[in-house]
Amino acid sequence: MSTPAVQALILAGGLGTRMKSAVPKVLHDVLGHPILWYVVDALKDIDVRPIVVTPAADEPFRAAFGDRLTYAVQPEQHGSGHAVQCGMDYVSAEYVLVCNGDDPFPSAEDYREFLDESLAEHAEAAVLAAHLDDPGQLGRIVRTVDGAFAGIVEARDARPKQLDIREINTGIYLFRSAQLRAWLAQMKPNNAQGEYYITDCLAMAVQDGSHVHCPVARGAWEMSGVNDRAELALAAGLLQRRKLDHLYGEGVSVDMPGTVRIDWDVVVGRDTEIRQGSCLRGSTKVGSSSIIGPNTILVDAQVGDETTVLVSFVEGAAIGSNCTVGPFSYIRPGTLMAEGSKVGAFCELKASSLGAGSKVPHLSYIGDAAIAENVNVGAGTITCNYDGFTHAKHRTVIEKDVFIGANNNLVAPVTIHEGAYTATGSTITHDVPPEALAIARAVQVDKEGWVRRKKHGQ
């Protein structure tokens, strides 16, 4: 028998009132992705183009997910059952997998297992249950004395005894589409919120003698859905633990894990140490045997092997292998540090390249510069890349084996040719020929006896 076609319907049409936010609830960030992304990601092997039910203002959804998804608008919020009704216009498959869009936890395996099992059971309706120590405001699974599924009751509609039930509705359902349409047509908003509940369709399925399947999720289920800021923080913490467990398994050490933040997509190689207070965000990738931190922030950064980044901020930059950065440096977008290069303390580099073995050890601003290999940039050197008028910044080129003396101003556009030296305190305003020494500073004048005359009139 061939597998029946299944489409996924993700419910994200709620206003998320409990978040008290201008941003739709499911678009809030958890470890570098909106909550809804995790649902879409987990479903990607099951259904190539999931349908997402959004509120009327769906622009932020389109901006975040583009045309990877099909969008079904729920013009007014009349509950999860109403959201499903709005989404069903886009469903043509025999089965529909309905899931809440506010739950980043279920994994691809959780969805897959539930789906396969429910299809194998030939269920007309199915819902995934889970046991929670603290079921809070979640819907409770009601069973008959012999354990058969009887229905779902929301916490606010529950009798006190039902509130003691710890088996909850995870918000993941499978329906045979034809039957679901019939049940949706019969829904009534007879509950504390005056809304149409998708959960009522399961009770209707039981009543009309359809086959309803209600398996209990395997493994520890710690929460279900994000409804407010406290749950958002809890969700981030739980997913962070999952991410850290994965990194430990890859041979990564994390010092003081409670103090770090590592986004979901970050990749770290084995024997690298992430030290306390560090934050690795976005698409950051770190190689092996490197040391990141303490107190280092990497945003969309690439770091090679055996590199140390100490107390620094790196964004949109690539740092090679065997490099050192910091303490207290700022590496900005477009910067490329080649193998074995060094940026020391209190330096800022922007859209610049630093060749192999080159060094910017102390207190420098290097912007829009191409620095070749084996260059030493003296302490306090500044590239003067902005003339105060033009939008385009001017470039500084420093060829290989150049030595820039301390406290230089390199007034761009300017090129220091191969092997040249510049004297300490120089303001270099034109190109320096190869292997020349450029001296561009006032000549020292010593006024003998000047202090004595000033102080004592002698």
Active-site annotation, residues: 362
Structure tokens at 433: 């020929």
Report the partner that residue 278 touches, choosing among Ca ion, ligand UD1, none (CB closer than 5 to 8 A by kind): none
Residue closest to ligand UD1, measured at CB: 139
Size of the site for Ca ion (CB under 5 A): 3
225 belongs to the binding site for Ca ion (CB under 5 A)? yes
225 belongs to the binding site for ligand UD1 (CB under 6 A)? yes
278 belongs to the binding site for ligand UD1 (CB under 6 A)? no
Max CA distance (Å), the chain: 116
Structure tokens at 15: 């206003």
326 belongs to the binding site for Ca ion (CB under 5 A)? no
What's the CA gap between 149 and 205, in Å, rounded? 10
- Considering beta carbons, is residue 83 or 266 the nearer one to Ca ion? 83
Kindly state the smallest distance separating residue 105's Cβ from Ca ion, in Å.
12
What's the CA gap between 16 and 36, in Å, rounded? 13
Report the partner that residue 280 touches, choosing among ligand UD1, Ca ion, none (CB closer than 5 to 8 A by kind): none
What's the CA gap between 379 and 424, in Å, rounded? 9
102 belongs to the binding site for Ca ion (CB under 5 A)? yes
- Choose which of 19, 40, 43, 83 interacts with ligand UD1 (CB under 6 A): 83
Stretch that binds ligand UD1, among 192-200, 242-250, 300-308, 369-377 (CB under 6 A): 192-200
Strands (E), 165-272: 167-176, 212-213, 253-254, 261-262, 267-268
Report the partner that residue 53 touches, choosing among ligand UD1, Ca ion, none (CB closer than 5 to 8 A by kind): ligand UD1
What's the CA gap between 329 and 276, in Å, rounded? 17
80 belongs to the binding site for ligand UD1 (CB under 6 A)? yes
Phi and psi of 259, rounded to 5°?
Answer: -105, 0
- Considering beta carbons, is residue 102 or 399 the nearer one to Ca ion? 102
Kindly state the smallest distance separating residue 152's Cβ from Ca ion, in Å.
13
Decide: 80 and 197 in contact? Cβ < 8 Å: yes
Kindly state the smallest distance separating residue 331's Cβ from Ca ion, in Å.
41
154 belongs to the binding site for ligand UD1 (CB under 6 A)? yes
What's the CA gap between 451 and 405, in Å, rounded? 30
- In single-letter form, the type of residue at position 273 comes to E
- Considering beta carbons, is residue 32 or 171 the nearer one to ligand UD1? 171
Size of the site for ligand UD1 (CB under 6 A): 30
Phi and psi of 208, rounded to 5°?
Answer: -90, 15
Strands 365-367 and 348-350: parallel
Stretch that binds ligand UD1, among 206-214, 220-228, 236-244, 414-422 (CB under 6 A): 220-228
Kindly state the smallest distance separating residue 51's Cβ from Ca ion, in Å.
19
199 belongs to the binding site for ligand UD1 (CB under 6 A)? yes
What length is written for the chain?
Answer: 458
104 belongs to the binding site for Ca ion (CB under 5 A)? no
Residue closest to Ca ion, measured at CB: 225
Decide: 292 and 286 in contact? Cβ < 8 Å: yes
Of residues 137, 151, 249, the one with CA closest to residue 207: 151
What's the CA gap between 346 and 313, in Å, rounded? 11
Phi and psi of 327, rounded to 5°?
Answer: -75, 160
Structure tokens at 316: 């949109």
What's the CA gap between 230 and 344, in Å, rounded? 40
Report the partner that residue 14 touches, choosing among Ca ion, ligand UD1, none (CB closer than 5 to 8 A by kind): ligand UD1
- Choose which of 33, 78, 176, 350 interacts with ligand UD1 (CB under 6 A): 78
Report the partner that residue 223 touches, choosing among Ca ion, ligand UD1, none (CB closer than 5 to 8 A by kind): none
Report the partner that residue 253 touches, choosing among ligand UD1, Ca ion, none (CB closer than 5 to 8 A by kind): none
What's the CA gap between 55 and 73, in Å, rounded? 6
User: Under the rule (CB under 6 A), what is the footprint of ligand UD1?
Assistant: 11-14, 53, 74, 77-80, 82-83, 100-103, 138-139, 152, 154, 168-171, 197-199, 224-225, 227
Interaction site with Ca ion (CB under 5 A)? 102, 225, 227
